Chain A
Amino acid sequence: MKLKVTIATGIGACLLVAACAPPGASNAQGPAQQGPVGTAAPTSEVTLSLVSTPESGAAIRSIITQFEGKHPTVKIKYQDTNFDDYNKSLNLSLASAQSPDIVLLNSVGTTVKDNLVRSLAAYEKAYSWDKVYPSTQLAQWRVGGDGKTLGFGDLYAAPAGFSIVGVYYNKAKAAKVGIASPPKTLEEFDAALAKAKAAGELPVQLGNAEGHASFAVQLIGQSHDGAEKAATWAFGHKGSTFDSPGNRQGADKVREWAGKGYLPADANGVDLQGAVDKFTKGEGVFFIDGNWDAAKIGERMNGDVGFFAFPGAKATAIGTSVAYGISAKCANPDAAALFLDYLHSEAASAAEFKAGFMPADVAAAKPEPGTVMADIVAAWTKVNADNGLVGFNNNATATMGDTLTAATQELIAGKTDGAGFIGAIQTDWAKTHG
């Protein structure tokens, strides 16, 4: 008995001693040193590694080739990982000894707070990026001193291409049910949906297995509340709330659409690509989605499809940029920044547009007239003229994507009402920003 106790105590003591340190404390590092920065290409050969996802990195390979042609001393190794795994492993790989140099940032999350990427403030000044890009295009990559409030402060990533979420419509079906032109207000949009329903068509195609009904809620919300107010919430500014007249209207409207049969009954069991397939096969008059599916939709529907920014007094859209930051462990930040600066060049812009993204330099967007791409460029130009671009609500916190998925699924299944939906979203937000 005594022996057992002795052995057990000994082992227990060893384990406790081993464990009794706060986890991860030794990994913590201070902010990267900010010395003077240079904008010249390195004189001796430098190799950088760049990580991205297949979708966002579609154009980056050809951009790298052109860049290396222009600056022969810089070599860039490209590697991609699928979206889900990329986001889950990015912080760990940035913290590891094999950190990549240039990284795609899909959201700020805790990456800045943990000092894993460099502040680009000095490079922004050196390259005058604030004059190259409209302020709303950089705002989502500015992070305040607390490491989590967005919209002001140091810049942490430079954009390569942009996405925009708006409304696709099936031109043939719209004409058939008597919708002559894209609706200009939410009331007109509602009336068009009623018309489609009465004519026996599915008014809005939707796949909500991954929570894409949140696009509709956000678009209705921000077109009512205004882009600026919507952005302060998405950026996590203290004191803002999701419980606004616009978002209330958005949640109620989406629930109402589901109740009236304006949305597919099985939406919760269909993912975004499933919905794209159905829409291109003629199921649904309208479809809320981003420009990233434009090439596929345009090709499959043989040009019989249009696109418009969500109806409202001012043009607003959900949009973000495919943006790249520099690891805090990067040994050659000057060379990395040289590449980031190349991302808004005419050649890079053309490559991004070809891959389906809106380019930083709109002049590089040359769509064929009459195509859905022409509609998208028109909507993009209009939204930027109205300064109406707002980041995705699901980037407001690290978990907001999951929270929006669960909450929109409950909303369109009638398991929760508008107030319950808004409460769930604000609770998640308050945990990070409250």
Chain B
Amino acid sequence: MAETAYAPRRMAVSRAGTATRRRRRQAHRLVPLLYVAPGFLFYLTFVIAPWLQSVWISLWEWNGVGVATWVGLDNYAEILAEPALRAALLNAFGFIVFYTVIPIVLGLVLAAVVAATPWRAMPVIRTVLFLPQILPLVAVGVVWKWIYSEDGPLNQLLGAVGLGDFARAWLGDFTWAFPAVGLIGSWVSTGLCFLLLLSGIGRIDQSLYEAAKMDGCGPVREFWHVTVPSLRREIGVAATVTIIAALAGFDIVYVMTGGGPGHATTVPGVQVYELVFTAGRVGTACALATVLSVLTCAVMYGINRLTKER
């Protein structure tokens, strides 16, 4: 309809005609934006705007209730100067080993083994491995706190097998608290990584394995040269999800140790919470959150670059 209506004008090439066409083209270009608009509006209201607001607040000294004072970048300097806040950032990156590296390695091996030997009990294994993922993390923390406690099941087990000398209050020990808390992250993430990678293995072209076999590859070399490279994308997704969980963690640490002993297990999430609700330093809390979000984005950018299909 529109085509016919405009047909005669198109014949007469005039300045006015080009202008109309340009406007029409522009209007057409705006249509996709309309589709995106509702989602974008929500994103803008609930993600971008609060983020910008917290960046703004990070430039003030404010206790959340009273009058705010402009301090510029002082809050950012405090993050570098205060041992507890520095420790929190370092610990968050340390947790990546437990939340990401260990689960992906374990998940890869498990998925490869399971894919190679189809078991009847498969659905049960899948469910058991995935279970920690669907439990609320606060409940997970409470249960593990009990397991690690001085007279908890772990120490009873150690005593029963004659290793009573190793028993200790795991979460109160400067050396052991960090790995003890970290391992729970591994326990939670492994199921997710396993499932992701298993579904990825199903997607790999079988002819690749056949070719590898023809070239005389054993199961181990098959794993290294076919399975792992083909799972690049799934590994990328697993790494993205679990690294965010490691960096933005709060529940498990808050419930189990509150960041102690000393600052051995503290993470930015716990520090932000303490800064706002105990210390009344909302500005510093926002500065720490901003630093964390920028670092997280940087890590995500790196992961995307590394795992992009070549």
Contact = CB atoms under 8 A, between A and B. Distances in A.
B65 A92 contact: yes
Interface string A22-53: 11110110000000000000000000000000
Interface string A409-420: 110010100000
A340 to B, nearest CB: 23
A317 B93 CA distance: 44
Contact of B68 (A23, A110, A266, A267): A23
A266 B65 contact: no
B14 interface: no
* Interface bin, chain B: 35 or more
A88 interface: yes
Given A11-B44, A15-B49, A406-B260, A267 B65 contact: no
B142 to A, nearest CB: 14
A405 interface: yes
A269 B280 contact: no
A406 B262 contact: yes
Contacts of B258: 405
B98 to A, nearest CB: 20
Interface in B246-275: 258-263, 274
| A20, A24, A413 — most chain B CB neighbours (10 Å) | A24
B260 A409 contact: yes
B278 A398 contact: yes
A138 to B, nearest CB: 25
A392 B263 CA distance: 22
Given A268-B260, A268-B261, A22 B169 contact: no
Given A15-B52, A19-B52, A269-B150, A415 B65 contact: no
A259 to B, nearest CB: 15
Interface string B11-39: 00000000000000010011001000000
B146 to A, nearest CB: 12
Interface string A5-25: 001000100011011101111
Interface string A82-126: 000001110110010000000000000110011010000000000
Contact of A88 (B29, B263, B277): B277
Contacts of B278: 87-88, 398-399, 401-402
B29 A3 contact: yes
A114 B173 contact: no
A267 B260 contact: no
Interface string A395-434: 0001101100111011001010000000000000000000
B287 to A, nearest CB: 13
A18 B263 CA distance: 37
Given A18-B49, A268-B169, A114 B63 contact: yes
B64 A24 contact: yes
Dominant secondary structure at the A interface:
helix
A110 B280 contact: yes
Given A413-B174, A415-B262, A91 B169 contact: no
Given A23-B60, A209-B260, A406-B263, A269 B149 contact: yes
Contacts of A410: 174, 261-262
A23 B282 contact: yes
B53 interface: yes
A24 B279 contact: no
Contacts of A139: none
A258 interface: no
Contact of A91 (B52, B64, B70, B172): B64
Contacts of A177: none
Contacts of A406: 84, 259-263
B172 A24 contact: no
Nearest to A20: B56
A402 B52 contact: no
Contact of B65 (A3, A116, A265): A116
Nearest to A18: B49
A155 B174 CA distance: 43
B262 A409 contact: yes
B64 A399 contact: no
Interface string B34-68: 00000000001000110011001100101111111
| B57, B63, B262 — most chain A CB neighbours (10 Å) | B262
A355 interface: no
B261 to A, nearest CB: 4
A89 B280 CA distance: 11
B171 interface: yes
Given A116-B65, A269-B150, A23 B57 contact: yes
A110 B65 contact: yes
B214 to A, nearest CB: 51
Contact of A92 (B62, B64, B172): B64
B170 interface: yes
A241 B263 CA distance: 24
B262 A269 contact: no
A76 interface: no
A268 B65 contact: no
Interface in B143-181: 149-150, 168-174
Contacts of B173: 266, 268-269
A44 B290 CA distance: 53
Given A23-B60, A405-B258, 19 more contacts: A7-B33, A11-B44, A22-B67, A23-B56, A23-B62, A23-B282, A24-B62, A25-B68, A88-B278, A92-B64, A113-B66, A266-B168, A269-B149, A269-B171, A406-B84, A406-B263, A409-B261, A409-B262, A413-B174
Interface of A: 3, 7, 11, 15-16, 18-20, 22-25, 27-28, 87-89, 91-92, 95, 109-110, 113-114, 116, 208-209, 265-270, 274, 398-399, 401-402, 405-407, 409-410, 413, 415
21 contacts: A3-B26, A15-B48, A22-B68, A24-B68, A91-B64, A91-B280, A114-B65, A209-B260, A266-B172, A268-B174, A268-B261, A269-B149, A269-B169, A398-B279, A399-B278, A399-B279, A409-B262, A410-B261, A413-B174, A413-B262, A415-B174
